Amino acid sequence: MFLNDIPNEIKSLSIAQLKELCETLRQKIIATVTHNGGHLASNLGAVELTVALHYVFDFPEDKIIFDVGHQCYAHKLLSGRADEFDTIRLKGGLSGFPKREESAYDCYNTGHAGTSVSAALGIAKARDIKGENFNVIALIGDGSFNNGLVYEAFNSLKPLNTNILVILNDNGMSISPTVGSMHEYLEILSSDSRHREKIERHANIFERFGFSYDGVYDGNDLECMIDKLTEVKNKLKTGSVILHVYTKKGKGYAFCEENPQETHGVSSSSSKPSLQYSQVLGETLCELARKDKTIFAVTAAMTPSLGLEPFFMEFPDRCIDVGICEEHATILCAALATQGIKPFYAVYSTFLQRSYDEIIVDICSQNLPVTICIDRAGISGADGETHQGVFDLSFLNCIPNLTIAVPKDGTEFRRMIEMSIHFDAPLAIRYPKDCKYSYGDKDSEIVPGTWQILKKGTSDIAILACGERAITLARRAMNDSGVSATLVNARFVKPIDETILAQLNQTHIITIEDNMLAGGFGSVILARFADSGKKVHCFGYVDKFIPHGSVGELMEDFGLSCREISEYLKQCE
Amino acid sequence: MFLNDIPNEIKSLSIAQLKELCETLRQKIIATVTHNGGHLASNLGAVELTVALHYVFDFPEDKIIFDVGHQCYAHKLLSGRADEFDTIRLKGGLSGFPKREESAYDCYNTGHAGTSVSAALGIAKARDIKGENFNVIALIGDGSFNNGLVYEAFNSLKPLNTNILVILNDNGMSISPTVGSMHEYLEILSSDSRHREKIERHANIFERFGFSYDGVYDGNDLECMIDKLTEVKNKLKTGSVILHVYTKKGKGYAFCEENPQETHGVSSSSSKPSLQYSQVLGETLCELARKDKTIFAVTAAMTPSLGLEPFFMEFPDRCIDVGICEEHATILCAALATQGIKPFYAVYSTFLQRSYDEIIVDICSQNLPVTICIDRAGISGADGETHQGVFDLSFLNCIPNLTIAVPKDGTEFRRMIEMSIHFDAPLAIRYPKDCKYSYGDKDSEIVPGTWQILKKGTSDIAILACGERAITLARRAMNDSGVSATLVNARFVKPIDETILAQLNQTHIITIEDNMLAGGFGSVILARFADSGKKVHCFGYVDKFIPHGSVGELMEDFGLSCREISEYLKQCE
């Protein structure tokens, strides 16, 4: 079976051939993801459902939006992209998420949770206005279902007066196991699947929003899915439908089925395991929490990747994973802090964007001592533009009352966490995934707003480097260029260290940061030295969305090139 | 009755005296709001409920969080702030919203919708951890109930394993009438109030989240409220409760009862009516939409204040008010744009913060031609820190693909809207409420990224002024100082006008913007002229949250002082 012919041929295949196709897809996904890294378990679970969708519906005329988009691999393979599938998540290759630029079969880019129903409604409404006639499908997992956006979208189905199909792909897992009452409710539906009467009563919750509800069916049963989707396609002519299916995360690969959380996302075979900042967070917070009963940890569906599983195991009464609800998580932290509890909100930089209003209004305008631990800051790599953590310094910088810290290594991160315990104001600490240098100067306490001179240089150049990646790059550039500059660990972006700044008698000031240039650390230094006669030059990311690739490649391509920094150093000397 | 004695005496008052108290509060609120401006109808509706709460519960030991906070006036009057009530919303006076800094009776600051349940959960959880014993109440209107945050908070009630009381104060109005299915559902509850059996079935939707539900009762019936709250207070010992009450918005003031939307917020008696940018938006969009069938308008519960009521009347099939759901609104626009529909998303600057992630991921990373019309940008005045629109230029500046425009007057705004129709990329236009200069140069088309030299000066100074307020200030400062500078209408913050910039041969460059200094327009110009030998000085807001007061007072106090700009001009000359 040639996968690239599938888009034209799929409707003429027999059930036996379709089942064979499922097996082919599954093997291709396992082989590729094991090599390139990516989302494994969720994609394996969605194979039969995706084949049935392509068999029953007419893509790309019909439109499908994959919520989050991490379960779109079979869809990519079935829509003419099989030959390029080996390149997935590699620089210049296929994206690991739906991309309109890549194929007409991808009608809406996703990456963050809970957007699919809103997007489906918008596309369906546009169709109605234009008098067109196609089907619009949102495929959403039970993890995304916790996000308030889904509820907001449901709430406007009736006012929009349009028809969509929502397929709830229920596998009981966000990334961590799905939490919360909605999940319990979905479980009731699943367990009641043989009692139609009960289901009809339960179904009310969706029907009130204007959907007809149908479920729960086995999403890994290809024939069942084909039957149900055919039936539902017909119903869509007169109204909106929620089709509730359950699938087995990791289906068909025993190791995944048994370890769905660990195999949700897997690293590429070439990536070396290293110390991660998340481990430092977990270990340090556990140690501190043994002594300090006020410490509380909040996450939004990413507990293990944030290093907080040990904390959640040891202190079950002083933590919560709220599900994919970053806004709610932020307010919860602010409210805990009003009562003398010390909350740590750990979150990926890219998802922190969801909390922006609450960081301003709830945490910072009330000046509450919440510590926000921002993981995967800077370029995060293979997940591409929707996941790069390159905006945080820019969007946080303008918020009053907020202190922003950027550790240079694991030890410094540990000291910052320790410092935060008695820090009586909002604090954000941002760091990338990998922590190459775990131990710097062991004993020094961190005073907020202080920097550190790492090296005194002989030239008329001072480099203010912000975070581990920037410092590493500065050292490499000095090495490559042979230029000896003064190197400063600018570990606080806000406030900046006026004592060290006043001492800098160099004419050339260079800033380096793993963040957008606009509004980042460099912009703070430019403002500080305006009118000073010093020449300030900033290195950071240029004004473009950064696609997928390896961290090193992308840093080089988008503004943090060692060669360019070296050349600039030579030019200044 | 002396209102300032009430906190100590309220529990000893008879029902007759409490009713008299309600009347006193109502008169005080009407008199004060009519004079100072503020939220009128919602506060009048909540008088009996608030008196009953203070009678039954023990504040400040018990905690109450007012969702949005606009219905807290009676609470302020009952908690020892009656003597200062005349100062509400005036500079240095009481805030129009709950403020922890103001009184122990205000336990959590609010301003934006939907946060109260999350905050109540956080406070209750902290209480449990500390082994304390008090009641926590979230008072929330049906408009806020549409926001996804409420659903996220409900969803974590069971995992948090704590008890709170949610009072749903249902008046059928957000600011505009409440929309959506949840509202319909609440209406069913209200209309079924005499059929207990039906209610019990409906109540499931809340009970699944772990609440016991009780309703619907007349929130303007003081005795009923006292009875119900007493009953509920007892139930709170063993679980969480939703108490559903209906109140009459504007209760007791016939004009308000009949015009609840118009009297939701009223202006102070001293403020003069003037042209508003919102009118220009409404008129222009209607004109354009008559010719262009693809134009679509999206709002989040603020249609009249955004000037879009005429559009909604004339084009009912090409608009939606999604309720207080800014995230959903943003995605809906992005999705419409993928299908060739031209969406205009009108929103207040402060509420746009809620859409931040979706602006980045859904609109800009997909490079979709959505026009975001950002009203109440800059200092908005009397609503205080939670409502100032001073962050938008900073948080938008770092987003690739986004063009940011700032009109200098009503005509220019009109031209920008016209231009946006054929502009094939994301566009944000930000403007304040009042539009003092409605007609500038009548005929000129706007080319994106172009500025305009308004005046050629004789000194070695160029002022780049961004928006109407900045230009007005620049003119005044030149006038006051007698310094003749070149004045540029920097009507695009992104991209900037390289042609004009290249022509500027002045040594002193001054930027003025109605936005935070950090990451704002000035930071773009600092970066542009780094290394150039020019002296750049930026005027904008300093790194502080800006409280309530009049626009002029606050601009003066927080960084846009005409006197300071004049002095700087003289100093440069």
pLDDT at A47: 96
Q: Is B272 a catalytic residue?
A: no
Q: In Å, what is the CA distance from B182 to each residue of A150, A485, A493, B148?
A: 13, 62, 44, 11
- A228: containing domain: 3-261
Decide if B412 contacts B382 (C-beta within 8 A).
Answer: no
pLDDT at residue A175 is higher than 70: no
> Nearest by CB to A129, which of B318, B530, B535?
B318
Classify residue B436: in a domain, yes or no: no
pLDDT at B21: 96
pLDDT at B146: 87
Average pLDDT over residues A332-336: 97
Q: Is B567 a catalytic residue?
A: no
pLDDT at residue A196 is higher than 60: no
Classify residue B446: in a domain, yes or no: no
Distance, in Å, from the CA atom of B91 to the CA atom of A21, rounded to the nearest integer, reads: 70
Q: At what angle do helices A148-155 and B148-155 cross, to 10 degrees?
A: 130
Beta carbons within 8 Å of A322's beta carbon, 6+ residues apart = A146, A179, A180, A298, A299, A300, A301, A328, A329, A332, B152, B155, B156, B159
Average pLDDT over residues A9-22: 95
Classify residue A150: in a domain, yes or no: yes
Decide if B110 contacts B144 (C-beta within 8 A).
Answer: no
Classify residue A33: in a domain, yes or no: yes
- My answer on whether A419 and A473 are in the same domain is no
Percentage of chain B lying above the pLDDT 90 cut: 81
> How many domains would you assign to chain B?
3
- My answer on whether B105 and B133 are in the same domain is yes
Classify residue A445: in a domain, yes or no: no
Note whether B395 contacts A400, CB cutoff 8 Å.
Answer: no
Name the closest residue on chain A to residue B397, using Cα atoms: A518
- My answer on whether A186 and A292 are in the same domain is no
- My answer on whether A145 and A229 are in the same domain is yes
Decide if B143 contacts B324 (C-beta within 8 A).
Answer: yes
pLDDT at residue B493 is higher than 70: yes
Q: Is A399 helix (H, G, I), strand (E, B) or coil?
A: coil
- Could you give the ipTM of this predicted complex? 0.94
- My answer on whether A239 and A306 are in the same domain is no
Peptide bond between residue A495 and the one before it cis (omega within 30 degrees of 0): yes
Decide if B371 contacts B341 (C-beta within 8 A).
Answer: no
- My answer on whether A406 and A483 are in the same domain is no
- My answer on whether A210 and A335 are in the same domain is no
Residue position matching structure tokens 């500078």: B485
Confidence bin at A171 (pLDDT 50/70/90): confident
- My answer on whether A146 and A12 are in the same domain is yes
Average pLDDT over residues A281-285: 97
Q: What integer best gives the mean pLDDT of chain B?
A: 92
Classify residue A114: in a domain, yes or no: yes
Average pLDDT over residues B80-108: 96
pLDDT at A207: 82
- My answer on whether A308 and A251 are in the same domain is no
Distance, in Å, from the CA atom of A333 to the CA atom of B135, rounded to the nearest integer, reads: 19
Q: How many residues does chain B have?
A: 573
- My answer on whether B464 and B423 are in the same domain is no
Name the closest residue on chain B to residue A61, using Cα atoms: B339
Q: Which of B266, B299, B314 lies at the terminal end of a domain, its last residue? A: B266
A475-522 pLDDT, tens digit each: 999 999 999 999 999 999 999 999 999 999 999 999 999 999 999 999
Interface test with A, best of B331, B344, B391, B498 (most A CBs within 10 A): B331
Q: Regarding predicted confidence, which is higher, A514 or A252?
A: A514
Confidence bin at A136 (pLDDT 50/70/90): very high
Confidence bin at A23 (pLDDT 50/70/90): very high
Average pLDDT over residues B107-118: 96
pLDDT at B307: 97
Peptide bond between residue A98 and the one before it cis (omega within 30 degrees of 0): no
A27-58 pLDDT, tens digit each: 999 999 999 988 888 899 999 999 999 999 99
CATH of the domain at A480: 3.40.50.920
pLDDT at residue A442 is higher than 70: no
Q: Does B533 touch chain A (CB under 8 A)?
A: no
Q: Which of A261, A292, A317 lies at the terminal end of a domain, its last residue? A: A261
Percentage of chain A lying above the pLDDT 90 cut: 81
Classify residue A185: in a domain, yes or no: yes
Which sign, positive or negative, has the C-alpha torsion B404, B409, B414, B419? negative
CATH of the domain at B371: 3.40.50.970
pLDDT at residue A124 is higher than 70: yes
Burial class (CB in 10 A: 0-12, 13-18, 19+), A190: middle
Specify the pTM.
0.94
Q: Regarding predicted confidence, which is higher, B389 or A204?
A: B389
Question: Across the A/B interface, how many CB contacts are shorter than 8 Å?
Answer: 346
Note whether A520 contacts B179, CB cutoff 8 Å.
Answer: no
pLDDT at A201: 52
Q: What integer best gives the mean pLDDT of chain A?
A: 92
Distance, in Å, from the CA atom of A414 to the CA atom of A420, rounded to the nearest integer, reads: 10
pLDDT at residue A443 is higher than 80: no
Peptide bond between residue A488 and the one before it cis (omega within 30 degrees of 0): no
Residue position matching structure tokens 């009562």: A339
Classify residue B442: in a domain, yes or no: no
Q: Which of B266, B294, B320 lies at the terminal end of a domain, its last residue? A: B266
Name the least confident of A164-173, A193-202, A247-256, B381-390: A193-202
Residues 447-476 of B with CB under 8 A from A: none
B450-485 pLDDT, tens digit each: 999 999 999 999 999 999 999 999 999 999 999 999
Question: Is the backbone of residue A14 left (phi > 0), alpha (psi -120 to 50) or beta?
Answer: beta
- My answer on whether A51 and A108 are in the same domain is yes
B16-71 pLDDT, tens digit each: 999 999 999 999 999 999 999 888 888 999 999 999 999 999 999 999 999 999 99
Q: Does A426 touch chain B (CB under 8 A)?
A: no
- My answer on whether B196 and B307 are in the same domain is no
